[in-house]
């Protein structure tokens, strides 16, 4: 791998990090987002506390217990 390959790889990582950061910081916490498991609305307080969350707190707890 030469210097150009390393630079291209670094550029890709930085671009992805920038896009992810933009999405998290520009998500309207008042927008309606449903839990991917139970399909209930994720409360705004949860979305604000955990930007980018995909589950309500109850489903997140069940998910995390299943991961252990």
Please determine, for residue 67, whether its predicted confidence score (pLDDT) is greater than 90. no
Q: What is the pLDDT of residue 56?
A: 95
Burial class (CB in 10 A: 0-12, 13-18, 19+), 55: buried
- Per-residue pLDDT of 19-54, as tens digits, reads 877 776 666 655 658 999 999 999 989 988 888 889
In this structure, how many other beta carbons lie within 10 angstroms of the beta carbon of residue 42? 21
Query: Domain limits of the chain?
Result: 3-67
Coil vs helix vs strand at 34: strand
């Amino acid at each position: 791998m030469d210097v150009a390959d390393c630079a291209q790889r670094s550029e890709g990582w930085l671009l992805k990090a920038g896009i992810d950061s933009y999405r998290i910081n520009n998500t309207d916490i008042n927008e309606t987002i449903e839990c991917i498991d139970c399909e209930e609305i994720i409360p705004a307080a949860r979305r604000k506390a955990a930007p980018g969350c995909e589950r309500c707190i109850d489903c997140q707890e069940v998910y995390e217990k299943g991961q252990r």
